[in-house]
Amino acid sequence: MRVDIVSIFPEYFAPLDLSLVGKARANGLLRLAVHDLRTWTHDVHRTVDDTPYGGGPGMVMRPEPWGEALDALAPDELSPDGLTLPRLLVPSPAGVPFTQAMAHELAAESHLLFACGRYEGIDQRVLDHAATRMPVTEVSLGDYVLFGGEVAVLVILEAVTRLLPGVLGNAGSLDEESHAHGLLEAPLYTKPASWRGLDVPEVLRSGDHARIARWRRDEALGRTAARRPDMIAALPPETLDQRDRAA
Ligand code: SAM
């Protein structure tokens, strides 16, 4: 997968050299480039913002540098390596919620382009113009407001990268974790069996795989019901058996 990120703070992305994302880059599974939006400014102050039309507080990112950046990173002509137009992702608290389902959707794309807003956000015409040429998604991390899109991109990229084939040593873990099947994961334990007077539940030490699976399912249902009733309500009824309903 190829990923381009445009930001006025390219330094924010230093952590993408670390851990499994860094390894995915080193292995060529992820080809990532970070671009400074100010590269596409032409005044001495390298200005990227201006006051909002209609008044109001704060500043808005001007369309010209964004337009040039997107022209350069998503050219209409096919690039020599045959890349198609990217999918443009614009972090925004006014976007659609980012979910594990969207992470899977994005992991199937060949080229993602992230546009990191700052100040009050990006002039709407940048998104409207881009949408005439490529798919554009405004995406929100959650119902709160950050200073800029950079942290959101780090989160989205980490969630997407771990879904890329070959990135996780044990791909089976993807199938058992929270949000894989509409539930939160059951509690986890490791050695020692007893620690500070707290014992690992007997069932997990029993070696009885059917009992362990049932215990994990019950715990996952109980946790999800307590913490995320919205997820329980969204479960397709046919995925629940008699024991699930009792739990
Ligand atoms: N004026 C915007 C609004 O009310 O919707 C908020 C702008 S915010 C201060 C600046 C930038 O931070 C946004 O353009 C976006 O890139 C990013 N941002 C803030 N909160 C976010 C969230 N919950 N999810 C994704 N990006 C967010």
Give residue 169's pLDDT.
83
Query: Separation of 155 CA from ligand 1 center, angstroms?
Result: 14
Q: Is 146's C-beta closer than 6 angstroms to any atom of ligand 1?
A: yes
Digit-coded pLDDT (tens) for 48-58: 999 999 999 99
What is the predicted ipTM? 0.99
Q: Is 6's C-beta closer than 6 angstroms to any atom of ligand 1?
A: no
Reported CATH class of domain 2-161:
alpha beta
Q: Is 91's C-beta closer than 6 angstroms to any atom of ligand 1?
A: yes
Asked if 21 contacts 161 with a C-beta cutoff of 8 angstroms, the reply is yes
Give residue 45's pLDDT.
98
Topology of domain 177-246 in CATH is: Trp Operon Repressor; Chain A (1.10.1270)
Exposed, middle or buried: residue 149 (CB in 10 Å: 0-12, 13-18, 19+)?
buried
Among 114, 146, 150, 155, which residue has the most ligand 1 atoms within 8 Å of its CB, making it the best to mutate? 146
Q: Which residues are annotated as a binding site for S-adenosyl-L-methionine?
A: 117, 141-146
Query: Separation of 242 CA from ligand 1 center, angstroms?
Result: 44
Give residue 90's pLDDT.
98
Give residue 81's pLDDT.
65
User: Is the sign of the CA dihedral 199, 204, 205, 206 positive or negative?
Assistant: positive
pLDDT per residue, tens digit, the chain (247 aa), is 999 999 999 999 999 999 999 999 999 999 999 999 999 999 999 999 999 999 999 999 999 999 999 999 998 876 666 667 999 999 999 999 999 999 999 999 999 999 999 999 999 999 999 999 999 999 999 999 999 999 999 999 999 999 999 999 887 778 889 999 999 999 999 999 999 999 999 999 999 999 999 999 999 999 999 999 999 999 999 888 888 887 7
Residue spans of the domains in the chain: they are 2-161, 177-246
